[in-house]
Amino acid sequence: MHVHEFLAKELLARRGVSIASGRVAESAEEAEKAARAMAHDQYAVKAQVHAGDRLASGGVRFAGSPAEVGAAAAEMLGRPLVTRQTGPRGEMVRWVYVEEVVTAQTNLYVAVAVDRAVGEIVVLGSRSTVDESEPNAIQERGELHRLPVRIFDSQGTAGFTALARQIAPAEADADKLAELLQLLANSLIELDATLIEINPLAFTADGEFVAIDAKMTIDDNALFRHPDLAAVREADAGLDSDPTELMADRRHINYIALDGDIGVVVNGAGLALATLDSLVDVGGRPANFMDVRTTATSLDIAFAFDLVLANPAVRAVFLNVHGGGMQRCDTIVEGMAVAMRRSGRILPLVVRLAGNNAEFARDRLKTFGISFVEGASIADAAQRVVQVVSKEVA
């Protein structure tokens, strides 16, 4: 779950991180009213989208009066913002964040993240900000410092002071920066986040460290521990997501529509990606990405098949299942049978079944009267389904 800037800042401020005063608004009138209430000399009006590079793309504008704030908000709201990170379609701006402009003596970069490659939490810091158009440049220059974090009694422990002294300006209190780094590490642990990034972190003339921008990503699998954040995700997704993908998510299915003609049903994200690669390698065109989660029931799986069968572009279905302890092959086959019976649409089916109850699943397919071709491996099954589609087209 990607968290909008205004919410990320609120979550950090509750935990002791200094932020500039600001308010979120969903209309130009609300933005102007917020600016009048704050009564500052300079304001930043920021489009709230799940993407960086906003300043260079017109998603951050500066204003010297409440009227200018309202005008800037009117130009952003209800329109897509296109940045290097959104793709050509952009992302619709539903809210703006009106914030006091903070004057910085120095801008730093700090972040806490889960490094999936090595399976540990790390703190990252630099004496300069990270240019989002060239994210690797600062690391290539050797300016990005890295500190592993260990967890004891739900608290992060590491050499925060040593890192703070490496990146703090000469006139800054390194101990104060060390406290901030530890706050961020503990916030990551408490919120079940995978990333908290402040870029830039301003060091001001009065010796304070203030978060000017904040990015935060929460682990979706931990949202059951944070019902307040889960509710925000539902509201946000309802506005910005494809409604089909949102309904699939509620059914324990990760689904993304593609532009091909081979429907794909797979359990496991890694296996799904390998399946798409195998199809493309032999000239196939997947019609969707699908990952059936281990928590999906047979009725959830039936809904997933409904999505595939409802796509008129689909000419054949590739079922690739590796049964595990929580998701057996026959559970998925039963869901597929339910979907086929109620849709009435019969499509060529190529399957690859392995793992828990694979043999029983084959018997269930025959019992249901479903014709299928079986592949000996993922590559073999991919080749077979592409051949089937080629015959269908011919």
State pLDDT tens for residues 281-307. 999 999 999 999 888 888 889 999 999
Number of other residues whose CB lies within 10 A of the CB of residue 195: 16
Q: Which domains are present in the chain? A: 1-20+103-240 (3.30.470.20), 21-101 (3.30.1490.20), 243-393 (3.40.50.261)
Positions of the chain with pLDDT lower than 70, given as ranges: 132-142, 231, 233-243, 246, 392-394
Rg of the chain, C-alpha, whole Å: 25
Number of other residues whose CB lies within 10 A of the CB of residue 48: 23
* Neighbouring-strand partners of residue 209: 203
- According to the model, what pLDDT value does residue 235 have? 58
- Active-site residue flag, 143: no
Phi, psi of 281 (to 5 degrees): -60, -30
- According to the model, what pLDDT value does residue 238 have? 47
Number of other residues whose CB lies within 10 A of the CB of residue 202: 21
Cβ-contact 54, 88 below 8 angstroms = no
What is the DSSP code (8-state) at residue 286?
B
- Active-site residue flag, 109: yes
Listed in order, strand segments (DSSP E) in 48-92 are: 60-63, 80-81, 91-92
Question: Tell me, what amino acid is at 170?
Answer: A
Phi, psi of 153 (to 5 degrees): 55, 45
Helix (H) or strand (E) holding 35: helix 28-38
C-alpha to C-alpha distances, 220 to 49, 224, 229, 233, nearest whole angstrom: 19, 8, 10, 9
Residue 224 is encoded by which pair of tokens? 């059951």
Name the active-site residue from 43, 97, 109, 255: 109
pLDDT digits (tens, 9 = 90+) for 138-168: 555 568 999 999 998 888 888 999 999 999 9
* Residues contacting 205, CB < 8 A, separation 6+: 103, 105
Name the active-site residue from 30, 197, 255, 334: 197
- According to the model, what pLDDT value does residue 135 have? 52
- According to the model, what pLDDT value does residue 382 have? 97
Percent of the chain scoring above 70 in pLDDT: 93
- According to the model, what pLDDT value does residue 129 have? 84
- According to the model, what pLDDT value does residue 156 have? 86
Cβ-contact 93, 25 below 8 angstroms = no
C-alpha to C-alpha distances, 205 to 40, 80, 109, nearest whole angstrom: 18, 37, 18
122 — alpha (psi -120 to 50), left (phi > 0) or beta?
Answer: beta
Cα–Cα dist 75/58, whole Å: 10
| pTM to 2 decimal places | 0.66
- According to the model, what pLDDT value does residue 88 have? 86
DSSP string for residues in 123-136: EEEESSPPPTTSTT
Q: Are strands 96-100 and 22-25 parallel, antiparallel or unpaired?
A: antiparallel
